[in-house]
Amino acid sequence: MKKMQIFTVVFFASLSTALCINDGLLPNGNFERGPKASQMKGSKVTDPLAIPNWETAGFVEYIKSGQKQGDMALVVPEGASAVRLGDEASIKTKVKLTNGMFYSISFSAARTCAQEEKLNISVSPKEWGILPVQTVYSSNGWDSYSWGFLADSDLIQLTIHNPGSDKDPACGPLIDSVALKALPSPPRHKGNMLKNGNFESGPYIFPKTNWGALIPPNIEDAHSPLPGWIIESLKAVKYVDSDHFSVPEGKRAIELVAGRESVIVQIVRTVPGKTYDLSFLVGDAKNGCEGSMLVEAAAGKENVQVPYESKGNGGFKRGTLRFKAALPRTRVRFLSSFYHMKSDSTGALCGPVIDDVRLLSVRHVRK
């Protein structure tokens, strides 16, 4: 695994004190149950066990929605409370899981001070990652992030740690709504050589939020919260749902939110010399992302550019690419040629949506 990420998830303590979670919010994962007044000094948490179900270390603040930082009001994405992690501060909790099962973590975060804020995640000493939170992809300043791991124990300890980038120990990102989701390995369905080509298997999306879930950059297949796919780029891609976005097919899709810096890849077995057809849907998420979009799809040495004129109101079209395999393994790759921003004047990044990606040998293509 590439050790290039920023969140630390560590799991310990006795099984008797941990709850088994497969899908959904962790116990007090939204931090709505907070410290007693005697366990705080101002907004600073002074007792490491003051927040139910969590243990804190370092300068951790318990933040109420609307609380002021200078002239700025701090916004909490869900409910009334969140936590802020100062330099080198962390929060951790224990969760009982199924050994050998793959999981993804989802959480919401917002930058409040430094431009280069990051978070460090690790699950057991073997898996960890650092996630950048400086780029804002939503219109309200909050984003939800996801990170995947393989449980190598029945008990884990999840730690979210701010490694620090500001001289002010009180500065740091806000954290809210921490959840887990079990992700069984998706099968290859009849009629498609690709795994998870419809993107229905992916990280947990918080139902009361309207900004989807980011899948961070430089995530390899074995550790991707988007099973079957590699995030091969400098920026994240966004996982969106049909409850809050226009999705071409099914309930989930991928939005390429950072132009040529948002790239997804899948490596599939092919027969050299054989001809294949790659097909996919290109559209917009009905989220105010307007303009002339262009999705590039590549398979091996062949590629195609599929234009889509977006009015920001939803819609889609199908793109296709026929190619002859040159190797026993072929890289199927998607990216957005252009950068886009939402039309709401917030400067939030956005982009085209892709969905229903199918790969078949030509002799198996339906008429």
Question: CA 120 to CA 164: how far, in whole Å?
Answer: 10
Phi, psi of 260 (to 5 degrees): -70, -5
For 179-205, the pLDDT digits (tens) are 999 998 887 778 899 999 999 999 999
CATH of the domain at 331: 2.60.120.260
Residue numbers of the domain that contains 97:
6-182
DSSP conformation class of 314? -
Task: Among 182, 203, 221, identify where a domain stops.
Answer: 182
Residue 189: inside a domain: no
How many CA atoms are closer than 13 Å to the CA of 336, on its beta-carbon side? 29
Task: Among 134, 161, 182, identify where a domain stops.
Answer: 182
Phi-psi region of 322 (alpha: psi -120 to 50; beta: other; left: phi over 0): beta
Place of tokens 């899908």: 23
Q: Are residues 219 and 173 in the same domain?
A: no
pLDDT at 67: 84
State the DSSP string of 218-261. SB-GGG-SSTT-EE-SSS-EEEEETTTS--SSSSEEEE-TTGGG
Residue 144: inside a domain: yes
Place of tokens 């989807």: 212
Question: CA 104 to CA 182: how far, in whole Å?
Answer: 7
How many CA atoms are closer than 13 Å to the CA of 25, on its beta-carbon side? 14
Structure tokens at 18: 């941990």
For 116-137, the pLDDT digits (tens) are 778 999 887 678 888 888 777 8
Question: CA 31 to CA 178: how far, in whole Å?
Answer: 9
Residue 248: inside a domain: yes
Structure tokens at 31: 């931090």
Phi, psi of 39 (to 5 degrees): -105, 15
Residue 208's Cβ-count burial label (10 Å; 0-12, 13-18, 19+) is exposed
Q: Are residues 265 and 130 in the same domain?
A: no
Q: Are residues 112 and 175 in the same domain?
A: yes
Tell me the pTM.
0.90
Residues 322 and 276 sit within 8 Å (Cβ to Cβ):
yes
pLDDT at 222: 65
Amino acid in position 248: P
Residue 187: inside a domain: no
For 143-160, the pLDDT digits (tens) are 999 999 999 899 999 999
Phi, psi of 109 (to 5 degrees): -150, 150
Residue 162: inside a domain: yes
Domain count, the chain: 2
Q: Are residues 173 and 240 in the same domain?
A: no
Structure tokens at 275: 């001809």
Q: Are residues 139 and 272 in the same domain?
A: no
Mean pLDDT of 100-121: 86
Q: Are residues 227 and 341 in the same domain?
A: yes
